[in-house]
Structure 1
Amino acid sequence: MSQENLNFTAFGSDALRATFRLHASGVAIITSHTESNEPIGFTATSVTSLGSTPPLVSFNIARGSSSYEHLIVGRKVALHTLCAKNLELAQRMAGPKENRFLQQDYVLEDSLPIFPQASGVLVGTIRQRIEVEANAVVILDILRGTEGNQDARPLLYYRRGYLTATERLADND
């Protein structure tokens, strides 16, 4: 066993930010609607699969977000995975909420805004919200999805900016 002395120089929030700036995340868009069927949505980099049996996905959101109050248990949500060609869409959905749906580049399916240009789309129902301090974890039951664009270069968020993966290092055997 190695006896390296690690020099822990960052603590708490500073440590978290320093480490996660160096951790690449996939970029996604979450969309849904209000009680009056107005579209809502935002860019997320905290999306992860919880498992395939049953098919569950989670994402994180600040409880102070303008979208959070509309993400109620039982409501349908669309989760869009993004590729490099969706950069403008990711930036727009991360910007001011009043500008997110000005362009008519989405379609409505049961009042759910869907961006067909995304590399993949999953539709699910909110199963649970777990509130932790000023944040929440939202868990979705996945109902259906598109096959996805197998040739798309994934859009990643890394060091407070967007990039894409270009080199395959190894296959998982």
Structure 2
Amino acid sequence: MNSASPDPTDGAIGDATPDLAAFRQTFRRHAAGVAIVTAQREDGTPVGFTVTSLASLAAVPPLATFNMALSASSWPAIAETDRVVIHTLGVRNRDVAQTLSGDNSQRFIGDHWYRGPHGLPVIKDTTAWMVGRIIERVQVHQSAVVIVQIEQGGLGEDDAPLVYHERTYWRPGTPV
């Protein structure tokens, strides 16, 4: 086969069709910055999760988006709350990124967070954090795009960005 035309069965995953396998492999190979989104349930219980889908939507008004599956354990809190905190992470935040992507019952055990504006959980020592009001949740199939209008925030110490690629956290290499 011509090297410019990859075999569509290469990288097939389990019983996934070649197209689905290619989709999964493509996004595993697409490096993305790592962020954490936190909120609280109506009873005040903190929730949070690690995302790689954070994006700026507009500068005026300041809008950001992130995506999540409707089956995610944190979705019920995001579906019912008005505000979230979005945190951008540096390499020094690798452990907290791992914690917030792990077991729900362990995510807020420890001193890596505090109650911030509106009583929301704020992760300590991130490169930046922004409090925002959810203005729209757009359901697409079994996922949602959450649109947040940023209201306030703060900057922490600068650091090399934490990047997720091929199921591993990375520090970016040399600029090209």
SS in 2 for 1:35: coil
Q: Structure 1 CA distance, aligned partners of 2:87 and 2:93?
A: 10
Shift of the alpha carbon at 1:111? 1.7
Gaps in structure 1 of 5+ consecutive residues: none
1:77-92 pair list within 5 angstroms: 77-92=84-99
Q: Structure 1 CA distance, aligned partners of 2:155 and 2:50?
A: 21
RMSD: 1.7
1:50 to 46, 57, 80: 57
Q: Which residue of 1 aligns with 2:27?
A: 20
The one-character-per-residue Cα deviations of 1:91-144 (angstroms, maximum 9, x if unpaired) are: 000001000001122110222000121111011011111111111111100111
2:123 to 107, 115, 118: 115
Indicate how the Cα distance of structure 1 residues 53 and 117 shifts in structure 2: closer, same or farther if over 3 A, else same.
same
Identity %: 35
Gaps in structure 2 of 5+ consecutive residues: 10-17
Q: Which residue of 1 aligns with 2:14?
A: none
Q: Structure 2 CA distance, aligned partners of 1:138 and 1:56?
A: 10
Indicate how the Cα distance of structure 1 residues 16 and 87 shifts in structure 2: closer, same or farther if over 3 A, else same.
same
Scaled by the length of structure 2, the TM-score of the pair is 0.87
Q: Structure 1 CA distance, aligned partners of 2:112 and 2:81?
A: 26
* Count of aligned pairs: 165
- What amino acid is the match of 2:127? S
Q: Structure 2 CA distance, aligned partners of 1:156 and 1:29?
A: 13
Greater helix percent: which structure?
Answer: 2
